[in-house]
Structure 1
Amino acid sequence: MLQVELVERCKANDRKAQMDLYRKYAEGMFCVAMRFLGNEHDAEDILQESFVKAFQRIEQYRGEVSFGAWLKRIVVNGSIDFLKTKKMNSIALNEGYMRVADEQEDWTVSDGVSLDKVKQAINRLPEKYRYVVQLFLVEGYDHNEIAEILNITETTSRTRLLRGKGYIKEMLKDKSYGTGS
């Protein structure tokens, strides 16, 4: 059955169609939530909440993007909201003094650095940088979309991307020379 037909049946509150959409997207959306949360139980909770929210708001889905992209945004926002409530105490930097990131800059790392080390470095970033880096590099959002999701300006998104990349490079450089923790 076509995705458009499934969505239309879901709009008519067809439970079988809802289960079909759930089966089609649950695994991929779980992976998205896991990339943000790193905890299976939290990711499962966010996944369930996201599907409930999607089915409650399915009338708002207009087909301008694929259903998967629309659902992914709900999962990403749910994951970020969960993390924000978990860590309410964060210190804001005055980012007006930072230069704007150019996403075309070099993102390569030395050959001796494994993907796991890169992931660990991303996970150790302060959350405001981690969210932008993850949304840009892992989820593939552009700065306009990141700005909308995080309720920041595009300039702030670019700046946080640059700053996050700088932190990652420093963490990986320390590891490669054996001077890091």
Structure 2
Amino acid sequence: MQLELIEKCKNNNRSAQLQLYKKYCDGMFCVAMRFLKNADDAEDVLQEAFIKAFQRIEQYKGDVTFGAWLKKIVVNRSIDFLKAKRNNTIALDESYMHVADTDDWNVASNVTTHQVKETMEELPENYQYVVKLFLLEGYDHSEIAEILDISETASRTRLLRGKNKLKELLKAKYYGTGS
């Protein structure tokens, strides 16, 4: 069924495009909101992402689900929007760093998921993107590297630093500074 819809979209069938839009718009809006925190901006980015997806639907080869392919477009458009809005990002060369992988994401049991997500917004932008893509969107380092146009090493470095910074912020906010 979905492959038929996609084939119809490749033939510029407006009805099929509308069906795909309706199927994915709510979920993709949530993805954009996790980055943009503003419904109007998220709606704008969502519209741009769907336009781009339909313009480039010939590039969709079916090697991932359509939702995953579309989600990558929404994430990229969200990040592009934030970069354009801030337009003062500093590129860091982190390729020389060695990073130890760690999956320790434990925080105090009294800290809620909402508090963690809220605190993520305070992370420096380059850490925030990687942490969100990894934790909230479920991307791995090779996917994050491709989305952000950084190396996998830089992705791992930023994730590790972002996680440590997030823990520091949570510790200061929700259970004092106690060393």
The two structures share one fold, judged by TM-score above 0.5: yes
User: C-alpha deviations, 1:82-122, integer Å up to 9, x for none?
Assistant: 000111113444535754141x4310110111112101211
Q: Determine if the alignment matches structure 1 residue 149 to structure 2 residue 137.
A: no
Which residue of structure 2 lines up, in the alignment, with residue 18 of structure 1?
17
* Aligned-partner Cα distance in 2 for 1:117–1:174: 12
SS in 2 for 1:124: coil
Q: Give ranges in structure 2 of 5+ residues lacking alignment.
A: none
Q: Superposed, which structure 2 residues align to 1:6-85 within 5 Å?
A: 6-85=5-84
Question: Sequence identity of aligned pairs in percent?
Answer: 67
Q: Distance in 2 between matches of 1:44 and 1:96?
A: 35
2:138 maps to what in 1?
140
Match of 1:117 in 2: 115
Paired residue type of 2:81:
F
User: Which consecutive segments of 4 or more residues in structure 1 shift more than 6 A?
Assistant: none
CA-to-aligned-CA distance 1:145-178 (integer Å, 9 cap, x gap)? 0000000000000000000001000001112334
Instruction: Judge conservation of contact 1:129–1:160 (CA < 8 Å) in 2.
Output: yes
The count of aligned residue pairs is 178
Indicate how the Cα distance of structure 1 residues 101 and 133 shifts in structure 2: closer, same or farther if over 3 A, else same. Answer: farther
| TM-align CA RMSD | 1.6
> Deviations for 1:117-140, whole angstroms, at most 9, x for unmatched residues?
101211111110000000001000
Matches of residues 154-165 of structure 1 in structure 2 within 5 Å? 154-165=152-163
Q: Give the TM-score of the pair, scaled to structure 1.
A: 0.93
Which residues of structure 1 form unaligned runs of 5+? none
1:3 to 1:172, Cα distance in 2 relative to 1, 3 A: same
> Is the Cα–Cα contact under 8 Å of residues 50 and 78 in structure 1 kept in the other structure?
yes
Letter in 1 for 2:114: D
Amino acid in the other structure paired with 1:13:
N
